[in-house]
Amino acid sequence: MDSSDEAAPLRVVVLVSGIGSLMGAIIDATHQPDYPAEVVAVGADRPCEALGKAEAEGIPTFLCDFAQYSNRAEWDEALTEAVNHYSPDLVVSAGFMRITGPRMVHQFKGRFINTHPALLPSFMGAHAVEEALAYGVKYTGSSIHLIDEGMDTGPLLAQEPVPVMPDDTVETLHDRIKVVERRLLCDLIADIAENGTDARVTRKTEKKRD
C-alpha cells in the first residue's frame, strides 16, 4: 500500500489536572509504530505535573487556569478555543477534575470522552471509589463514556469490572482500577480511530439488548 493511502492518525487532545498517569499511558501507546492516534496537545485547568511531562515529550501544552477567570462561562469559552486551536478528532478528559460547560460540550459533542473509576451508572461523581468501598460492592470497575451536559451521564463506550478485595483501602482499590483504566482507554482510542464513536455506542446498545 502506498503511504499516501494510509489513514492519518487520530488527532487527540488530552485534558489533565494532576500527575498525568492516564495521559502518560496514551503517550506511551502512541510510541508504538502501528498505533492509529497521536497526542497533538495537552491542556490543564490548573498548573500541574502532567504539563511538564507532556512538554518533556515535545507535545504542545496549554493552561486555562480556572482561578484566572471571573466566571465558569468565561473559562469554558477560553478552554473551548484553546482545544479547538489543535483541530482534534477526539478530546480525552484524563483525570481532568473540572466539569466543562455547554460551549465545550456542544463544540466537541460525540468526540469528547471521559474516564470514570466505577461501573456507571453506579457511583457517579467525584467520590466513586470511596462510595463503592463504603457500599460494600463485590465488584466496581472502570467506565469510559461520551461527555454530555450531565455528570457522568453520557453514552457508555467501554467498561471493565474490577473485584473489590476484603482488605482494600480507597488507595489500593483505586490503584487497581487505574491499571484497568489505562489499558481500556488506550484500546478504546485505537478502536475509535478505526471505527468512530458511533459504532462503539451501537455495539454497547446491542449488547444490552442481548
Left, alpha or beta for 136 (phi > 0: left; psi -120 to 50: alpha)? left
Residue 16: alpha-carbon gap to chain centroid: 9
Contacts of 81 (CB under 8 A, 6+ apart): none
Q: Determine how many CB atoms are found less than 10 A away from the CB of residue 62.
A: 18
Return the closest-CA partner of residue 99 out of 121, 132, 66.
66
- Cis preceding linkage at 121, omega within 30: yes
Of these residues, 31, 85, 116, 174, which one is catalytic?
A: 116
C-alpha cell at 62: 496549554
Contacts of 146 (CB under 8 A, 6+ apart): 110, 112, 113, 114, 154, 155, 157, 197, 201
Whether 116 is a known active-site residue: answer: yes
Catalytic positions are 116
